Structure 1
Amino acid sequence: MDKHQSFRRADPDERRQSLVEATARCLAQHGVAGTSVRSICAAAGVSPGLLRHYFAGVSQAIAEAYRWTGNRVSQALEDAVARAGEDPRDRLLAYLTASFRPPIADAELLATWLAFWSMTPVDGGIGALHTEIYGEFRSGIEDLILALRPGLADARLAAVALTALIDGLWLELSLGKAPFTRLEAEALVEKWLDALL
């Protein structure tokens, strides 16, 4: 093969996406303080100038990584609900318990998510994105609750409570060495759900 034929210039969208994914990896490995133009570009295998070609700076790259990560989680939740069939209770339980399995229950995802959480109170853009992503998650729970119990007056607060429960259990499972198993977490969510509704 000719050496010129083996060279392929990456598509601009692919290069941008590789920087987004590299940003998420850097956040997981180094935290916010260790995530820089240099570390992101090294993780993506590109020259440092390329990040500034696609993003205004590291903050914008982090925001895009948060949006991408949120979309990955959302897709995993939607897939779990789709596999659950048509029963409203099964669909709601699938949505709630999907956080306890890969790809959501993952140490690297947790580390990335913790970096996003740490930025939420100090970075207005990340804070707004956090509100949007968590709002969509709670809205998904609320919609599934209302499909199960139409007209339930406290569906919003039930969604808030279930979100807090899911986050706590997901955090423990993703950290490793949780004092409970994934199956116990799922059973606990089911008991809470029945008590709330």
Structure 2
Amino acid sequence: MTAVRQAFTRESADARRAALIDATAACLAQTGLAGTNVRAICKKAGVSPGLLRHYFDGIDDLVAATYQATSDRMDRVFADAVAAAGRDPRTRLSAYLTASFRPPVTDPELLGAWTAFWALARSDARMADIHANSYAGYRARLTDLLTACDAADAGRLAILLTAMVDGLWLELSLDATSFGADAAAEMIERALTALLPPQR
């Protein structure tokens, strides 16, 4: 009976933490940093302010946890895209890069949360660390995929392609009618054709 109770408590704690993180992401997306406070988050999560303080060391800790959770979720999206692409290195590379132009990465609410994270990363050391680690991980995985395609100077090319994907994603997020997801994917494909050795 004790083991069952402990498992239930642990699951409940994880669920409550997740609910607070989801509520924080939603607040950031809908009202930005200015409208994201303890009362708004707890109202959206349907919990009392005391519960937030029980699971997190204040709102700054919760926002950092939300950034980390959002980054982890995007990592899983990209990893799943590569896994679904099969074994061909070039196809896997394309899948990794163009996943940024499909849901859930193109969820309009993600832009609001992400811009808040970026703003905080400029002034908050913990947020800056999460940002740096997230982007370093993305580029490292991209470098591996480029290396599998025999790309020259794969590390620098990963930086270039990351910036290109970020720019296209931002434009799409700001205005989905600007050029469209298919056009964004096509631009990435044209860049890869120009930058990579011919396929054997």
Q: TM-score, normalised by structure 2?
A: 0.90
> Residue 118 of structure 1 aligns with which residue?
119
Structure 1, residues 24-48: CA drift from partner, whole Å, max 9, x if none? Answer: 1111111112111111111100011
Structure 1, residues 9-37: CA drift from partner, whole Å, max 9, x if none? Answer: 98111111111111111111111121111
> Residue 162 of structure 1 aligns with which residue?
161
Distance in 1 of aligned mates of 2:35 and 2:58: 14
Distance in 2 of aligned mates of 1:178 and 1:144: 30
Which stretch has the larger CA shift, 27-36 or 160-169?
27-36
Structure 2 counterpart of 1:28, one-letter code: A
Q: Percent identity?
A: 51
Structure 1, residues 101-147: CA drift from partner, whole Å, max 9, x if none? Answer: 00101111111111101111111100010000111111111110011
Aligned pairs for 1:1-197 within 5 A: 11-149=12-150, 152-197=151-196
CA drift at 1:179: 2.4
Distance in 2 of aligned mates of 1:153 and 1:97: 21
CA drift at 1:195: 1.8
Q: How many residues align?
A: 188
Structure 1, residues 137-177: CA drift from partner, whole Å, max 9, x if none? Answer: 1111111001111xx44111100000000001111112234
Distance in 1 of aligned mates of 2:108 and 2:176: 12
Structure 2 counterpart of 1:23, one-letter code: T
Distance in 2 of aligned mates of 1:138 and 1:41: 35
Deviating 4+ runs (over 6 angstroms): none
Q: Which structure carries more helix by proportion?
A: 2
Distance in 2 of aligned mates of 1:184 and 1:63: 34
Structure 2 counterpart of 1:171, one-letter code: L
Contact conserved, 1:96 with 1:189, CA < 8 A, in 2?
Answer: yes
Q: TM-score, normalised by structure 1?
A: 0.91
CA drift at 1:196: 2.1
Structure 2 counterpart of 1:138, one-letter code: R
Structure 1 counterpart of 2:173, one-letter code: S
Secondary structure, counterpart of 1:89 in structure 2:
helix
Distance in 1 of aligned mates of 2:77 and 2:14: 23
Secondary structure, counterpart of 2:71 in structure 1:
helix
Distance in 2 of aligned mates of 1:177 and 1:91: 25
Which stretch has the larger CA shift, 11-20 or 87-96?
11-20
CA RMSD of aligned residues (A): 1.5
Q: Which runs of 5+ in 2 are unaligned?
A: 1-7
> Residue 4 of structure 1 aligns with which residue?
none
Q: Which runs of 5+ in 1 are unaligned?
A: 1-7
Secondary structure, counterpart of 2:87 in structure 1:
coil
Contact conserved, 1:172 with 1:178, CA < 8 A, in 2?
Answer: no
